[in-house]
């Protein structure tokens, strides 16, 4: 068993696609219209184009807004992305105007940082030494 698709709820799929591709560096894998303006919209790492897909899922269900709000208010990331060097990614993304809610923090063998994806989520960047 392996993870095939995971998702983040986004307020605006087009805005999310721009952020996750143009800023974070993922590439679009699927973009299938579902009706009502919603799309089956996934991105993947350019390093693993056949790997795990991230579904940029619309936040339309009534349970989603309070869920996302509670996570953000408590500083809890919706998901976590592995990077080779958190500090290097932090500097690169800050240079692109990305806002961070947590600067790089080393805790033993793990370094993390948390960013705002502009679509209602906090995203954690992590690397292990």
Tens of pLDDT along 73-116? 999 999 999 999 999 999 999 999 999 999 999 999 999 999 99
Q: What is the mean pLDDT of residues 36-44?
A: 95
The confidence band for 6, taking pLDDT boundaries of 50, 70 and 90, is: very high
Residues 6+ apart with CB under 8 A from 59: 9, 10, 11, 65, 68, 120
- Whole-number Å distance between alpha carbons of 83 and 120: 22
Residue 25 sits in a domain whose CATH number is 3.10.180.10
Q: Which helix (H) or strand (E) holds 110?
A: strand 110-116
Q: Is it the case that residue 25 has pLDDT exceeding 90? A: yes
Q: What is the mean pLDDT of residues 37-63?
A: 96
Q: How many domains does the chain have?
A: 1
Domain membership of residue 114 as a residue range: 5-128
Per-residue pLDDT, 129: 80
């Amino acid at each position: 068993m392996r993870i095939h698709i995971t998702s983040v709820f986004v307020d605006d799929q087009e805005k999310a696609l721009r952020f996750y591709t143009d800023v974070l560096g993922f590439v679009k894998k699927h973009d299938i219209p579902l009706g009502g303006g919603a799309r089956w919209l996934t991105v993947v790492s350019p390093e693993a184009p056949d790997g795990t897909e991230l579904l940029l899922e619309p936040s339309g269900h009534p349970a989603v807004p309070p869920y996302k709000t509670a996570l953000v208010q408590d500083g809890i990331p919706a998901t976590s992305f592995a990077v080779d060097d958190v500090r290097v990614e932090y500097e690169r993304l800050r240079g692109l105007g990305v806002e961070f809610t947590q600067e790089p923090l080393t805790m033993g063998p793990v370094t993390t940082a948390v960013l705002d994806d502009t679509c209602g989520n906090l995203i954690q960047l992590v690397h292990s030494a």
